[in-house]
DNA sequence: CCTCAAGTTAAATGTGGCCTCAACTTAGCT
DNA sequence: AGCTAAGTTGAGGCCACATTTAACTTGAGG
């Protein structure tokens, strides 16, 4: 790749990073190009599709989430680890409207939870009847609250999350009315998200 | 109003009712007119704005919600009443994507909860630290789950709601990290919802 | 310095939705 | 039957955004 092309690519990523963060994934591509000081054609040269750009902007997030998961797995208290993981992911959501959109559609954010859930359940703190698929409820719920409140009441999502977590403790468990979604249902539902 | 105009109004309401229910509030007005067998101009004659149409389609819902609230207030067990109200409203959301959109934006759905919450709190079943504003979390959360799952896993929202309710019981209470939103913050956040 | 593949540009094209308006039609009154 | 206010129509203007394309520019190897 030529030097000027690489440079434009960086400028585009920077612009997209900022605009996605402030306004979500639906920002017009023309505005991203303009903000980057580059023509719309160049944007299309560097990133064939919107998804390509989104992927490039957020590729680091997978590693971030993995790091949060690792931390969570070595926490002294498995429940604290579980809480720390969800809090960490939700903080990413709250800090970036683009990632907030993405997390609700993407699925990759919850897959690393499998072992964290297992550990917390075995410790007896996490209720035994929740599954990985139930974590989508947490993500979708907090995502919705972030979207609604990020301007009016930033930080309100922490209260939503805390209430949700209280419902996930073994000590809070009451019988659930329907079986959990299968993983493929959960994945399909995430893809369907807009 | 002339007879033919009244007739067209009905046809438009019917079409809008069905399309909103199936696809949410963002259905193109042209499609509603076409489905009603009427021109777009006539739609604008009968309903000056999209909100006007939405309001007309869903005007009965306020009474429905009020009825659910009344039922809830006379339930033997205040907690059961509380659960019944939220379940009832969420069933409305799940049955109609348009109302699902509306409930998350509208606020009117939760105002009648004030007395229900009071009663459930006084009975000792509902945790003492939750407020009316916290109910927006339930509405937003279930709305998001309905949107994500109505095709893939209809009914999954009942599980989301049940987990949420378990977190609202007094017996589940742990300290909350941030104070509740004020009512005006909650209202503003609802208006901000897309 | 020349060359040309690589890259950039902005205008053009396409799509989809909103909303208006001037020309036409009709209900309903007398 | 005739009049007219009320109502209907759909084409047309507008806008926002996506995507393509043909003409122009430039980095970098020889």
Tens digit of each residue's pLDDT (9 = 90 or more) over B5-40: 999 999 999 999 999 999 999 999 999 999 999 999
Q: Is the dihedral of CA B65, B108, A144, B183 positive or negative?
A: negative
- Among chain B residues 28 through 57, which have CB within 7 angstroms of nucleic chain D? 38-42, 44-46
Token representation of residue B182: 């004020």
C-alpha to C-alpha distance for B135 and B86, rounded to whole angstroms? 9
The pLDDT-based confidence of B108 (bands split at 50, 70, 90) is confident
Q: Which nucleotide is nearest to B43 (CA to C1')?
A: D8
- CA B39 to C1' D6, in angstroms, rounded, equals 16
C-alpha to C-alpha distance for B101 and B111, rounded to whole angstroms? 17
Mean pLDDT of B122-128: 98
Instruction: Give me the percent of chain A exceeding a pLDDT of 70.
Output: 100
CB atoms within 10 A of CB A37: 11
Tens digit of each residue's pLDDT (9 = 90 or more) over B9-18: 999 999 999 9
Distances (CA, A) of A179 to A165, B13, B141, B156, B160: 19, 37, 19, 8, 11
pLDDT of residue A110: 83
C-alpha to C-alpha distance for B37 and B47, rounded to whole angstroms? 16
Domains of chain B with bracketed CATH: 3-56 (1.10.10.60), 61-193 (1.10.357)
Tens digit of each residue's pLDDT (9 = 90 or more) over A65-96: 999 999 999 999 999 999 999 999 999 999 99
User: Which of A77, A94, A159, A183 to mutate against chain B (most B CBs within 10 Å)?
Assistant: A159
**CB within 8 A of A104, min separation 6: which ones?**
A139, A140, A143, A190, A193, B144, B148
Backbone angles phi, psi at B21, to 5 degrees: -60, -40
Q: Is the pLDDT of residue B42 over 90?
A: yes
Whether the CB-CB separation of A73 and A81 falls below 8 Å is answered with: yes
C-alpha to C-alpha distance for A189 and A174, rounded to whole angstroms? 25
Whether the CB-CB separation of B87 and B159 falls below 8 Å is answered with: no
Mean pLDDT of B82-101: 98
| Residue A143 host element (H or E) | helix A135-149
Q: Is the pLDDT of residue B194 over 90?
A: no
Q: Answer whether A144 sits within 8 Å of B148, measured CB to CB.
A: no
Q: Is the pLDDT of residue A109 over 80?
A: no
Chain A positions in Cβ-Cβ contact with residue B148 (cut-off 8 Å): 104, 136, 140, 189-190, 192-193
C-alpha to C-alpha distance for B141 and B159, rounded to whole angstroms? 12
């Amino acid at each position: 790749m030529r030097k000027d092309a690489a440079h434009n690519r960086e400028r585009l990523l920077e612009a997209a990073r900022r605009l996605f963060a402030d306004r979500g994934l639906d920002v017009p591509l023309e505005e991203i190009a303009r903000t980057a000081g580059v023509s719309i054609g160049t944007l299309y040269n560097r990133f064939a599709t919107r998804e390509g750009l989104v992927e490039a902007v957020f590729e680091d997030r997978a590693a971030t989430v993995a790091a949060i998961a690792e931390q969570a797995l070595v926490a002294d208290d498995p429940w604290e680890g579980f809480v720390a993981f969800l809090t960490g992911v939700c903080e990413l959501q709250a800090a970036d409207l683009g990632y907030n959109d993405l997390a609700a559609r993407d699925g990759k954010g919850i897959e690393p939870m499998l072992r964290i859930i297992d550990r917390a359940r075995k410790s007896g703190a996490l209720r035994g009847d929740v599954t990985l698929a139930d974590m989508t409820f947490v993500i979708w719920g907090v995502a919705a609250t972030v979207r609604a409140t990020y301007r009016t009441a930033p930080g309100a999502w922490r209260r939503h999350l805390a209430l949700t977590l209280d419902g996930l403790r073994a000590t809070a468990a009451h019988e659930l009315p329907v079986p959990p979604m299968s993983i493929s249902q959960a994945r399909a539902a995430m893809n369907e998200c807009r």
